[in-house]
Chains A and B, each alone.
Chain A
Amino acid sequence: MVFSSVPFLFYFLPVLIIVYVITPKKLKNGVMILASMVFFAWGEIRFIPVMLALSVVDFVCGRMMEQNRDNQKRRLAFMLIGVGANLFVLLFFKYTNFFVANINGVLGTAIPDPNIILPIGVSFNSFQSMSYAIDVYRGTTRAEKKYYDYLCYTTLFPQIIAGPIVRYVTVEKDLDDHEITRDGFSEGMRRFLIGLGKKVLIANNVGLLWSQVSAGTAGQPTVMLYWLGIIAYTFQIYFDFSGYSDMAIGLARVFGLTFDENFDTPYIAKSITEFWRRWHITLSAWFRDYIYIPMGGNRKGKLRQMLNIFVVWALTGFWHGASWNFVLWGLYFAVLLVFEKFVLFRFWQKVPKVFQHVYTMLLVIISWVIFAADDLVGVTLGQYLAGLFGLGNLPLYNNGALFYLLQYAIIFVVAAYFATPHFKTRVLQPAEKNQSKLLWGFTTAGYVIVFLACVAFIVNSSYNPFLYFRF
C-alpha cells in the first residue's frame, strides 16, 4: 500500500488509529504488527513468510549474542549468521537476475533468466536487520528480549517500503511505550501532510514530464527538451523520496515513535561531499558505520582511504539497483568525492558561493541522468548526455520544447523554492512559535488546503508511482 492512496488515507489509517487508541497498552505492538502485515501484504503478500523467517533469525541471533557475551567466537558466529541471512535474501531477490545475465554475457552460457521479482522494501529491511545484528555484536545496543517487540520494530509499516533505515537503537525505548497523544497526532500529521504534498503535488507532476521525455513521447528531441526532462527528474526524485521520508517520520510520530531524519535540503549543498551529508542520510550513515569505518576509513593513509571510498560508493550505487548504470553512478560520486577531498577543498573556500552551487547542482543533475538511464527509450545514456551539452546534433529548441517550458515553468519555480529551507525556517517554524491565534488559523487552513489538493490529485490519478519502490 502506498501512503498517497485512497485505501491508505481513508480506510487503513483511520481504522488503525481508532483500533490502536482503544487497545490496551500491552497489546498496542500487536496492533502495529497486524497493521504492518496488512500494509505490507497489500503490495507484497508473497514475501511475508520470508520476512517472518528473517525476523526469527535476527531475533535468535541477537539473543544468542547476548547470552554468549564472554564467548567472542560464538558472538562473531551469530553476528555473521544474522548478517549473512539478510545479505543472502537481499542478494538472492535483488541480484540473481543480474548475476545470471552477466554470467551468460561473459561466459557465453545460456542459463535461463530466473526472473525473480524483487519484493518491495527488501533493500531497506535487510539493511535495517543487518544494522541490528552488528550493533548487538558491537555492544552499542542490547538485544531485544521479546520477539513480539522485535517483530514490531522490523515490520513497522511507516518505514517498511522505502525507509528511512531506522536502527534499533533509535526506537528501542519507544517500542515498550508508545501511544497516540493529541500533540503527537497533530505534529505527526502536519509532517505527514508536508510529505504528502511534496509527493503528490510536486513529484508526481514533474514526473509526468520526465516520463514523456525519457520515453521519447514528448516530441522531437531538442537540447532544451532534454534539459527540461532531467530537471524534472531532479525535482521528482527529491520530492518523491524526501516526501516519502517526511510521511514515514510523521506517521511514526503519530504513533509515538521517533525516526531519524533522512534529508536536509540536499540541493542547497555547495559541494558533492556536502550533498551526500544531506541526501538519504540514513543510507550514507549506514555505509559509513558498517563499511567505510570498519575498512579503515581515513585512518590508514590516503591511498587506502581512496580505495575505501571507491568500494563504499560502488556498493552504494549497486544498492540502488541491480544494473551497471547504478554502479557507474556510485563510482561517478566516488571520483568526485576523492577529487573534492584531495584537490578541490584546498581552495574551495575562496571560490564564490554562486559557483559552488552551480558546480554542485550541475554534477548532481548529470548524476541523475546516469541514475535514470534505465528509463531511456530509444536513446542511450551517452546520447542523452551528449544531447544535453549540444554535442548530439540536436536543434537547440523548437515549439514543442517551448510548449513544455511554458507548462512547467511555474511548477519548476515552486519546486526550486521548496527545495530550499526558506519555507521551513521562515514560514513554518515561525508559525509554530508565533503566539497569534489568527496566524495559526491560517496555518491550519494551509495544511487543510494541501490535504484537499492532494486528495483531488490522488482521486484522479492513475499516475501514482513511487520511485523508490523497486529498491
Chain B
Amino acid sequence: MQNFKNKFFFIIFVVVWGAIIVWNFVTPNQSFSEAENRTLASFPHFTVETLLDGDYMDGVDTYLNDHFAGRPYWVSGQSLMEYGLGKREINNVFIGNNALLGSTGQPDADIAAANIAGVNAFAAQYKIPTYTLLIPSSTAVQPQNLPTFAEDWDEEGFIKTSNVAFGQGVTPVDAWTPLAAHSDEYIYYRTDHHWTTYGASLAYAQLAGAMGLPNRAQEFTTQTVSTTFEGTYQSKTGFPLVQKDTIELYQAGQATTFSVFNGAEEVEYDSIFFPEFLQKKDQYSYFLGQVQPYVTVYTGAGTGKKLLLFKDSYAHCLTPMLLADYDEIRLVDLRYLNGANIGSLVQAEQYDEALFLYSADVFAHQKVSGKLQ
C-alpha cells in the first residue's frame, strides 16, 4: 500500500510540477506587463562585479519572478486566498463593498504647506485670477464602501484647512460638498483611484459657478467609451471580483490641435483623445494620453480666454467639459517639471486665468505647486 501511495503521489506531483516548468519554457517572455501596468525586469547583465556582490543573482531572481508563466493568474489567485483569509487591505488598497479604495496615509505637513505657499506665491507674482480645486478620494467620500473598521486620513479636514490657507487672489472651489452629496452614486471608479467623468462633472458645476463660466452641463455630448476598464487599484491588488468600470466622455466644444511637450520636444495631435489606450490596461489615458510635463489644447471656442491648469491626472476627464470656454488650455504636471523658473517655462504670463486642480492625495503627499515658490 505504501508503495502504491508513494507511486501515486510521485506521479501526480511530478506531473503538476513538470507542467508548470514546461509552461514556463513555452511561454514567450514579454517586456511589459499589461496587467500590472509596468515594465518587467530584464535579464541582468553579467559582470564579475555583479556576480561577487550578488546583484547578478538578485537580478536573476527578479527576472524569473517577473516572467513567471501566467503571472496575472497566480497573482489573482493569491489575492483571492488573502481575501478568503480575511485580508481586506492589499498593497495599500482596501477591498471594500464591490469597490477598491486607496489607503494613502497621513499627509506630509511640510509638503502640504509648501504646496499651499506655492499657489499663493504664484497668484502674487502673476496677478491673474487663480482658482484651486482639491478633490477628495473615494475612500473619504464613500466610507460606506470601506471594509469594517477601515479608516484612512481626514481628507475633508485637510481640504477645508487648505482652502482657508490660500491667500489673496486665490479662490478655492469646494469639490467636497457636491461629491459628498452624491456619495451613493457612481462618482469614483470601482477599480481605479480616479473619479468618474460624472464625478468630475459635479465639481465642474461648482467650478463653472466660481469662475463665472456658463454651466454647460445641459449641452454636454455624452458617450460611453469603455465598459471594460480595470484600473490601478485592480493592478495593485490583482483582486478579480470587483465589477469592471465604465468610462464616459462628457464634452462641450471641440479641440482643434493638441500639442504635447514630452520633456524633449513638442508633438502635435489633432485630437485630445487616444482610443488606442482603450485596448490596453491603462484605459484612463484615453483622456489626453499619458501624463506629460505639459500639454496644450487649442480650441475654436473664440472666447479670447486662455487657461493655465496646474493639475494631476484628475483633470484629464474634466478638460473636455471646458473646451467651449477657452481658446487655449495648457495643462502642467509639476511632478514632471523641475528647475528655478517653471512659471516662465510654461509661459504663465500669457494666460488669463489659472486653476490648480489636484487630488487631495497628491496635494498632501507630493511636492507640486510647492515648486513654484
Residue ranges of A at the interface with B (Cβ–Cβ < 8 Å):
1, 5-7, 10-11, 14, 41-46, 182-183, 185-187, 189-190, 205, 399-400, 402-403, 406-411, 414, 432, 435, 437, 440-441, 444, 447-448, 451-453, 455-460
User: Contact: B89 with A447, CB < 8 Å?
Assistant: no
Q: How far is the CB of A370 from chain B (nearest CB, A)?
A: 29
User: Contact: B151 with A432, CB < 8 Å?
Assistant: no
CB-CB under 8 A for A444 and B12, given A43-B57, A455-B74, A459-B68: yes
Q: How far is the CB of B363 from chain A (nearest CB, A)?
A: 22
Inter-chain CA distance A402–B148, complex, in Å, is: 9
CB contact list, B53-104 vs A, under 8 A: 54, 57, 60-61, 64-65, 68, 71, 74-75, 77-79, 81-82, 85-89
CB contact list, B10-56 vs A, under 8 A: 10, 12-13, 16-18, 20-21, 24, 51-52, 54
Query: Inside 8 A of A5's CB, which chain B residues have their CB?
Result: 61, 65
Query: Inside 8 A of B13's CB, which chain A residues have their CB?
Result: 186, 189, 444, 447-448, 451
Inter-chain CA distance A177–B2, complex, in Å, is: 23
Q: List 5 A-B contacts (CB under 8 A).
A: A14-B17, A189-B13, A411-B85, A459-B71, A460-B74
User: Contact: A460 with B86, CB < 8 Å?
Assistant: no
Interchain Cβ contacts within 8 Å, total number = 126
Query: Inside 8 A of B18's CB, which chain A residues have their CB?
Result: 14
Inter-chain CA distance A14–B14, complex, in Å, is: 10
User: Contact: A406 with B68, CB < 8 Å?
Assistant: no
Q: Which of A41, A42, A190, A456 contacts B75 (CB 8 A)?
A: A456
Inter-chain CA distance A275–B373, complex, in Å, is: 63
CB-CB under 8 A for A444 and B8, given A46-B52, A459-B68: yes
Query: Inside 8 A of A447's CB, which chain B residues have their CB?
Result: 9, 13
Q: How far is the CB of B209 from chain A (nearest CB, A)?
A: 37
Query: Inside 8 A of B238's CB, which chain A residues have their CB?
Result: 460
B1 adjacent to chain A (CB < 8 Å): yes
Inter-chain CA distance A61–B26, complex, in Å, is: 51
Query: Inside 8 A of B85's CB, which chain A residues have their CB?
Result: 205, 410-411, 414
Q: How far is the CB of B90 from chain A (nearest CB, A)?
A: 10
Query: Inside 8 A of B8's CB, which chain A residues have their CB?
Result: 437, 440-441, 444
B241 adjacent to chain A (CB < 8 Å): no
Give the nearest-CB partner of A42 in chain B. B57
CB-CB under 8 A for A6 and B64, given A407-B86, A460-B238: yes
Q: How far is the CB of B352 from chain A (nearest CB, A)?
A: 45
User: Contact: B16 with A452, CB < 8 Å?
Assistant: yes
Inter-chain CA distance A43–B54, complex, in Å, is: 7
Interface residues on chain B, number (Cβ under 8 Å): 46
Q: Which of B1, B2, B20 contacts A183 (CB 8 A)?
A: B2
Inter-chain CA distance A410–B3, complex, in Å, is: 37
CB-CB under 8 A for A10 and B12, given A5-B61, A399-B151, A440-B5: no
Query: Inside 8 A of B81's CB, which chain A residues have their CB?
Result: 453, 456-457
User: Contact: A459 with B65, CB < 8 Å?
Assistant: yes
Residue ranges of B at the interface with A (Cβ–Cβ < 8 Å):
1-10, 12-13, 16-18, 20-21, 24, 51-52, 54, 57, 60-61, 64-65, 68, 71, 74-75, 77-79, 81-82, 85-89, 147-151, 238
User: Contact: A432 with B54, CB < 8 Å?
Assistant: no
Q: Kindly list the 4 A-B residue pairs having the minimum CB-CB distance in the complex, ordered from nearest.
A: A186-B6, A403-B149, A456-B78, A459-B74
Q: Which of B10, B17, B51 contacts A182 (CB 8 A)?
A: B10
CB-CB under 8 A for A448 and B12, given A7-B60, A455-B74: yes
Query: Inside 8 A of A411's CB, which chain B residues have their CB?
Result: 85-86
Query: Inside 8 A of A406's CB, which chain B residues have their CB?
Result: 86, 88, 147-149
Query: Inside 8 A of A408's CB, which chain B residues have their CB?
Result: 86
Q: How far is the CB of B233 from chain A (nearest CB, A)?
A: 16
Query: Inside 8 A of B21's CB, which chain A residues have their CB?
Result: 10, 14
Inter-chain CA distance A192–B25, complex, in Å, is: 24
Q: How far is the CB of B184 from chain A (nearest CB, A)?
A: 22
Q: Which of A1, A6, A437, A444 contacts B65 (CB 8 A)?
A: A6
Query: Inside 8 A of B74's CB, which chain A residues have their CB?
Result: 455-456, 459-460
User: Contact: B9 with A190, CB < 8 Å?
Assistant: yes
Which residue, A41, A399, A402, A459, has most C-beta atoms of chain B within 10 A? A459
Inter-chain CA distance A161–B142, complex, in Å, is: 49
Give the nearest-CB partner of A451 in chain B. B16
Inter-chain CA distance A435–B3, complex, in Å, is: 12
User: Contact: B86 with A45, CB < 8 Å?
Assistant: no
Inter-chain CA distance A10–B65, complex, in Å, is: 11
Q: How far is the CB of A174 from chain B (nearest CB, A)?
A: 19
Query: Inside 8 A of A403's CB, which chain B residues have their CB?
Result: 88-89, 147-151
Inter-chain CA distance A214–B334, complex, in Å, is: 35
Q: How far is the CB of A465 from chain B (nearest CB, A)?
A: 13
Inter-chain CA distance A387–B199, complex, in Å, is: 44
CB-CB under 8 A for A460 and B54, given A399-B151, A407-B88, A448-B16: no
